[in-house]
Amino acid sequence: MKKMVRWALGGYIVYCIGIIGYFFLFAHPSIPSQWKGTAADPATFLTPNEQLLSEQYSRWKNVLFFLSIPYDWLIYLFILWLGIGKTLQRSAERTTKWFVLQVAFYMFWLSLLVTIWTLPIDWISYHISRAYGVSTQPISSWLHDQMINFLIQTAVFFLIALVIYSFIRRFDKRWWLYAWLVSVPLTVFFMFIQPVVIDPLYNDFYPLKDKALEGKILALAEKAHIPADHVFEVNMSEKTNALNAYVTGIGSHARIVLWDTTLERLQEREILFIMAHEMGHYVMKHIYWGVAGTILLLFVGLFITNRVVKWLIRTWGNSFHLQKIHEFASFPLFLLVFSLLSFVASPTVNFVSRQEEHAADQYAIQRTHDPEAAISAFQKLTKAGLSEVNPPTLVKIFRYTHPTIFERIVFLEQIKQKE
């Protein structure tokens, strides 16, 4: 075990050095020469200091992203290798004989451990955002959000574990199929409750104060057949200088939401383009396709997870302090395998998402016929969030669910040239 721990830590350190070296020595942002001096060139809408800050901020955030993923894997491995998972299971079994309470006990302490061990990465990310002026969130508010994250994570761990181990104990070979069948209504249920239950835990939502603007947005929504009677404003200025807007939820729980930072810094034409973009997702049923995609990925993921977890227990059970898959102590192994599968699938998921975002841009331009407003909106989004205009390919593949700002502005510039 000690040898495995040393190899894991040594491998992670070498990986960290490689990632830091890549981003600080080799990944230099640039755009193709033919687009120099155009609206897609950051030099035309960012000051030299803003360009420098954007490069530095993006570099640090990218480094943290690529370091945090294997860091999470190490946490799960250490919980298994050090026998912590087994200790928690025995404590749960000594505390109560009730299966549901045992699951709740185990998942609370596991979630607490994971939260504590990931807190340094989260803190560094928060500190960097504060240092570069992107985040405006006080430490007390940040800690409040961390507490909410912990409670939600605990509830999710409990629900997943309750479903998984209930079926494993009854159907050793087909548990993954029954768990997937249960996950389908749960996925849809969470899509319903997120706008009205989960999101308000983090921020205050209230009807848009600018009624004239609300009327214009609702007119766009009516043409798009979006069942919305109000546009909501959220007080994100208490936490960030970045800009955003979105349409969330499904059916009668659909919500059109604008960040107050967006309302403060964008002109009406720019806001209408952004809202038309978000409505494009609704019109093209991207939310429903997303739910269907999630359900499909869960089917494949649970099938593979069942095979891999059982193989790992047969092969490395002694090292993981595990004998059978139905033990609570195997849950960190489930998390590890599912996290690995999610990372492997992320390039494909992100690619599909970028195609949907591009389609929404096309829809918005067809409705607003205002590429100038769209271009200026993207430029202001870049400035406010210190976004990277044209990130390295590695970052785009694993991090970007949207086309890059460079790609979006080039698309709009090409439309202008055709007019």
Active site residues: 278, 361
Amino acid residing at 65: F
419 among the known binding-site residues?
Answer: no
Identify any residues that bridge with 232 across adjacent strands, giving them in sequence order.
207, 257
State the Cα–Cα distance between residues 9 and 81, nearest whole angstrom: 13
State the Cα–Cα distance between residues 143 and 123, nearest whole angstrom: 10
H/E element, 231: strand 231-234
277 among the known binding-site residues?
Answer: yes
Residue 255 phi/psi, 5-degree rounding, is -130, 135
281 among the known binding-site residues?
Answer: yes
203 φ/ψ sector (left φ>0, alpha ψ -120 to 50, else beta): beta
Rounded to a whole number of angstroms, the CA Rg of the chain reads: 23
| DSSP assignment of 271-319 | HHHHHHHHHHHHHTTHHHHHHHHHHHHHHHHHHHHHHHHHHHHHHHHHH
245-248 vs 255-259, strand pairing mode: antiparallel
Residues forming the annotated binding site?
A: 277, 281, 357
Residues forming the annotated binding site for Zn(2+)?
A: 277, 281, 357
